[in-house]
C-alpha cells in the first residue's frame, strides 16, 4: 500500500513536470510573455476574476438589437433617399421620401418600428417649424418612447449645399483651370459653417436628446461628392482648382455635424473613409453619388449630387455597424 502511494505520488509529480514543460514550450513557440498576465492583473484581483469581468462586459446586451423598439429617422434629402425610387405611401410628395432611404433599409434589417420624417431640402429650422403641408416639425416625431434616432442634417442651412454644387459649378465654366469658387466664396462658406450651421446643429442635437431622453442618437456624415484632386468635367463642372476646395468645405461641414452630435452624447457615423473612391466622378458601377451630367455633358436624369441606391445602402450599412458596436 505504501509502495502504491509512492508510485502514484511519483507519477503525479512527473505529470506536473511534463505539463509545466509543455506550457513553457508553447510560450516559447508563440512568443507568449507569461509575465504580462501578472502585470495586467489589477491589484487585489486575480486573472480569473479579471477574465470574468471582461467577459461580462463583452457579453452585455445591446439594447438597440431588440426587435420592435421605436426608431425615428429624420433629416434632409440624403436621409429621405431622394431619387427615382418608390416613394413612401402617404408621405408628402415634396419630401421625396423613398422606400430605400438609409433609415428604412436599416429598420428593415433591425426589425424596428420606424417613424420616418426625413424630407428633401430640410434645414435645421425644420426640426421646429413645418416645411410643407403634412411635413410638420420633425422634432414632433420624438418622445420618451424613442430608443434610436438616425439623421442626416446640416447641408441645406444657409443654402450651403446648393451654392456649392450649383453656383460653383457655373463658375467653373468661366474659369475651368482656376479656382473661381474658392476666390468668391471661401470666406463666406467658412463663416456660415462655423458661425451659423455649427451652432444650429449643436442646438438641434441637444433638442433631439431632450425630446428623446431614452434614445441613442446617430448622425451620418455626408459621403464625398468629388475626389481629392482630379476634376472630372463635364460630369462635375467644378474648376480644377475648386475640387480640393469642395472637399475642404465638405470636411468642415462634417466636422460641425460630428461636434454637434457628440456634444449631445450621440454618435457620428463617418462616411469619409468608406466613400473614398465612390464619389460622383467615378464610373456608374462604382460611384455612390450621382453626377449632374454624364461623360458627354448630357444631364443624367438622376438626382444630381445625391446618393444612388448603392450609396444609400452604404450609409445604412455604416449605421448598422455603428449601432451593433453599442453596449
- The catalytic residue positions are 77, 306
At residue 295's C-alpha, the angle toward residues 290 and 299, to 5°, is 60
Burial 272-291 (b: 16+ CB within 10 A, else e): eebbeebbbbbeeeebbbbb
Cα 170 to Cα 151, 167, 266, 294: the distances in Å are 30, 5, 38, 16
What is the C-alpha to C-alpha distance for residues 40 and 214, in angstroms, rounded to an integer? 36
Angle at which helix 198-211 crosses helix 243-263, to 10 degrees, equals 30
**What is the H or E stretch that residue 113 is in?**
strand 113-116
What is the C-alpha to C-alpha distance for residues 54 and 37, in angstroms, rounded to an integer? 14
Q: Which of 307, 185, 197 is nearest to 253 (CA)?
A: 197
Q: Which of 184, 290, 185 is nearest to 232 (CA)?
A: 290
What is the C-alpha to C-alpha distance for residues 73 and 307, in angstroms, rounded to an integer? 17
Q: Judge whether 242 and 179 are in contact, CB under 8 Å.
A: yes
Amino acid at each position: 500500500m505504501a509502495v502504491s502511494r509512492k508510485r502514484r505520488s511519483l507519477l503525479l509529480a512527473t505529470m506536473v513536470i511534463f505539463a509545466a514543460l509543455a506550457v513553457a514550450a508553447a510560450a516559447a513557440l508563440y512568443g507568449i510573455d507569461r509575465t504580462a498576465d501578472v502585470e495586467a492583473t489589477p491589484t487585489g484581483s486575480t486573472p480569473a476574476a479579471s477574465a470574468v469581468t471582461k467577459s461580462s462586459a463583452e457579453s452585455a446586451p445591446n439594447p438597440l438589437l431588440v426587435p420592435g423598439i421605436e426608431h425615428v429617422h429624420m433629416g434632409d434629402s440624403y436621409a429621405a433617399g431622394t431619387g427615382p425610387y418608390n416613394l413612401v405611401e402617404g408621405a408628402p410628395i415634396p419630401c421625396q421620401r423613398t422606400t430605400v432611404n438609409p433609415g428604412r433599409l436599416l429598420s428593415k434589417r433591425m426589425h424596428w418600428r420606424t417613424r420616418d420624417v426625413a424630407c428633401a431640402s430640410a434645414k435645421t429650422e425644420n426640426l421646429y417649424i413645418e416645411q410643407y403641408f403634412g411635413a410638420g416639425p420633425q422634432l414632433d416625431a420624438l418622445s420618451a418612447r424613442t430608443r434610436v434616432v438616425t439623421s442626416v442634417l446640416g447641408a441645406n442651412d444657409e443654402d450651403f449645399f446648393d451654392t456649392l454644387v450649383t453656383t460653383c459649378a457655373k463658375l467653373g465654366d468661366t474659369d475651368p483651370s482656376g479656382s473661381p469658387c474658392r476666390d468668391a466664396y471661401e470666406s463666406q462658406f467658412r463663416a456660415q459653417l462655423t458661425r451659423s450651421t455649427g451652432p444650429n446643429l449643436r442646438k438641434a442635437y441637444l433638442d433631439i436628446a431632450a425630446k428623446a431622453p431614452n434614445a441613442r442618437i446617430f448622425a451620418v456624415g455626408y459621403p464625398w461628392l468629388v475626389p481629392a484632386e482630379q476634376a472630372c468635367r463635364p460630369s462635375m463642372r467644378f474648376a480644377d482648382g475648386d475640387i480640393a476646395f469642395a472637399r475642404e468645405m465638405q470636411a468642415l461641414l462634417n466636422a460641425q455635424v460630428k461636434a454637434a452630435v457628440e456634444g449631445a452624447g450621440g454618435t457620428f457615423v463617418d462616411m469619409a473613409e468608406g466613400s473614398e473612391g465612390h464619389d460622383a466622378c467615378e464610373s456608374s458601377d462604382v460611384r455612390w453619388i450621382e453626377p449632374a451630367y454624364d461623360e458627354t455633358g448630357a444631364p443624367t436624369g438622376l438626382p444630381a449630387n445625391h446618393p444612388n441606391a448603392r450609396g444609400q445602402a452604404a450609409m445604412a450599412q455604416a449605421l448598422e455597424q455603428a449601432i451593433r458596436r453599442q453596449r
